[in-house]
Structure 1
Amino acid sequence: MVNCNYIHLDEYQFFRIVVSEKKHKSRIILQPICQRIEQAYLTYLNDFDSLCGQPESHFATDDQNIRTALQKCYSSSTNSFTQFRANYYNHQPPAVRDLCPYCMIDTPYTLDHYVGQTEFPEYSILTKNLLPCCFKCNQQKNETWRSNNVKTFLNFYDDRFLQYPFLIADMQFIRNIAILSFTLIQPAEINNLQFALINRHFSALGLLEKYNKKSNNRLSSEIKTIQYMMGDGWIDADIRAQLLARYNGFSIQYGPNYWECHIYKALADHLTEIRLL
């Protein structure tokens, strides 16, 4: 897992530009509420913890036309918002352009509203509320973003502890079949609140189960490759060096908590058992 790059534009000015580009019917609905949007943005950007505890949107009791117009700022794109979306991935690290930061499994073809736009339509085009996401995670996450006044999911702009290893994999051999099992651990650099958030994120998306399934599907082919190398006379030290090179390459590109890199670390640590299969 890796962090996304926040573009740091003037969010409120961007909203006003988008409003100015809307058709007349939408403009006359949105222009009178611009000051309220600015206050909502300030809460999101400067005091997100209070937003987590906010019972509902400040627009919850407004006329449905206002809520719909706010949501259509996203769904009925103007030139400025279309350009933002087109350029978004150019500002992201290669790992985020390749893999969904929520799961690190599929390609992020969509943008997710971290705070759901149905519940909080005022944040429909707040760019810091938009995160790259694959179709599966977007559907699974849906409008969920908090539970008991705390975040449910990692925020890949703000949660700056993803460089510390908290995902490990253990390999066992049951009836000569290798099985990999992923677990979360709390390193010293991550505090209790941060680790609780990591656990909520993984639980909500079922990531440990997904990683177990995908890695175990991969293991058999990787072990066959290793066995061919052993049959060709490779010594364990050289095989281990090859596997650790792949582990390090994936870790550098996708972070130390990328599930796939742990396949190669586990294989490197169990060559003695693999040689006996």
Structure 2
Amino acid sequence: MESIKHPNLDPAEFFNSVIDAKREKKEDTTYLKRVINLKDNNAQKLKDYSNSFSNNNIESLSPMNINSQIKDDLLSLYIYGAKPFRDLIQNLNEQNGGHEIAKCPHCGVNTPSTLDHFLPKTVFPEFAIHPLNLIPCCPNCNGHKSEAWHRNGERACFNVYLDKEPDEQFLFCDVMIINNIPSALYRIDGYLVKDKELYALIKRTFSILHLIELYNKASDEILKSLRKEIRHQSRNWKLSQDELFDYLLDCYKNEPCNDRDNVYCTALLNNEHSRNFFKELLTSKKI
């Protein structure tokens, strides 16, 4: 998980811009009039979300009691890929260093090709296009999260706009040797984390999004990348094999302690059996 900066857009202006881009439907001649009326009718709900977001208590919000027609009209406003939402993603990129958010901030593995509704739009259609409720996400994490937003009155999933990762390590990785090849076995543990409520939130998120299973499945690419790095560094430095591994370990100490790549590479370089695996590849020049 990686915290990112939220979009810097006025919710009411964004809401109105989405409606202004709508056109009348031949099969529903009153559609445009109805959605235009939403500008005033939904204005207070947009303010309620923004206020709750500022106070970091969006779980306190309650769904609006509306009829099925209004719900359908609100849901119809969200079309991923439409220009207002492309503009929102561009704004997000600008807020986060001016470059594209290349990895899903929830898992850090897949491409964020969707927007997750943190408060699910099926429960809260009034927030279906609130900019602060739309979070870049990959289809895998979006599907797992589904409508999970609270558990017993507490936030169910880590909100990458509001929540901050702890400085202490909670993600760990053990190395297994299967058929003479290293394999990752990730796990989380909160014994180092001072904020136990935050760790409980992280633990719920890992469970809901099935992140451990995803990390284990995606670990082969990390192993391949480390092999390439070892090969590259072995050509540039006149070091013994163990000195090379220790040098790389020192480099990884400067990386975020809960970065999945860093955690697995550190585990590999600290493991005697995986070191022997890399030594054999170096000696045979198969690395």
If the length of structure 1 is used for normalisation, what is the TM-score?
0.78
What is the letter of the counterpart of residue 125 of structure 1? Answer: I
* Cα displacement string for residues 87-141 of structure 1 (whole angstroms, at most 9, x for unaligned residues): 4434335897121111111111111111111221111110111111112222222
Aligned match of 2:244: 238
Per the alignment, do residues 239 and 137 of structure 1 end up closer, same or farther by CA in structure 2, a change over 3 Å counting?
same
**Which residue does 1:104 correspond to in 2?**
108
Q: Which moved more, 1:16-25 or 1:121-130?
A: 16-25
Q: Which residue of 1 aligns with 2:27?
A: none
Aligned to 2:34: 29
After superposition, the C-alpha distances for 1:237-258 in whole angstroms (9 at most, x for unaligned) are 222213543x357x3xxx4322
2:7–2:91 Cα contact (<8 Å) kept: no
SS at match of 2:34: helix
Distance 1:163 1:154 in 2: 15
CA RMSD, Structure 1 to Structure 2 (Å): 3.6
2:59 maps to 1:52: yes
Give, in whole Å, the separation in 1 of the partners of 2:179 and 2:22: 65
Q: Is the 8 A contact 2:222 2:261 kept in 1?
A: no
Given the superposition, is the C-alpha separation of residues 4 and 73 from structure 1 closer, same or farther in structure 2, using an over 3 Å criterion? same
Taking the TM superposition and a 5 Å limit, the aligned residue runs for 1:115-134 are: 115-134=119-138
Q: Which moved more, 1:179-188 or 1:169-178?
A: 169-178
* Runs of 5+ consecutive residues of structure 2 not aligned to the other structure: 25-29, 281-287
Counterpart CA distance in 2 for 1:72 and 1:258 is 38
Aligned partner (choices 64, 75, 86) of residue 71 of structure 1? 75
How many angstroms apart in 2 are the aligned matches of 1:110 and 1:188?
34
After alignment, is 17-26 or 128-137 more displaced?
A: 17-26
Name the CA distance, whole Å, in 2 between partners of 1:86 and 1:31.
26
**Inter-partner Cα distance in structure 2 for 1:76 and 1:237:** 50
What runs of 5+ residues in structure 1 fail to find an aligned partner?
none
Q: What is the Cα deviation at residue 225 of structure 1?
A: 8.2
Other structure's SS at 1:155 match? coil
TM-score (normalizing by structure 2): 0.76
CA distance in 2, matches of 1:78, 1:180: 40
Identity of aligned residues (%): 27
Per-residue deviation, 1:259: 1.0
Query: 8 Å contact 1:153–1:201 — kept in the other structure?
Result: yes
Indicate conservation of the 8 Å contact 2:186/2:215, yes or no.
Answer: yes
Note the alpha carbon deviations across 1:129-165, whole angstroms, 9 max, x for none: 1111112222222233222222221100000235543
Task: Check conservation: 2:112, 2:137, Cα contact below 8 A.
Answer: yes
Aligned to 2:148: 144
Contact conserved, 2:80 with 2:114, CA < 8 A, in 1? no
**Equivalent position to 2:219, from 215, 231, 236:** 215
Aligned-partner Cα distance in 2 for 1:222–1:237? 16
Q: Is the 8 A contact 1:2 1:162 kept in 2?
A: no
Mapped contact 1:96–1:132 kept (Cα < 8 A): no
Cα distance in structure 2, aligned partners of 1:225 and 1:82: 36
Q: CA deviation at 1:46?
A: 2.4
Say whether residues 1:13 and 2:13 are aligned partners. yes
Choose which of 186, 197, 201 in structure 2 pairs with 1:197: 201
**1:44-68 deviations in whole A, cap 9, x for unaligned?**
22236765355x5204xx2322111
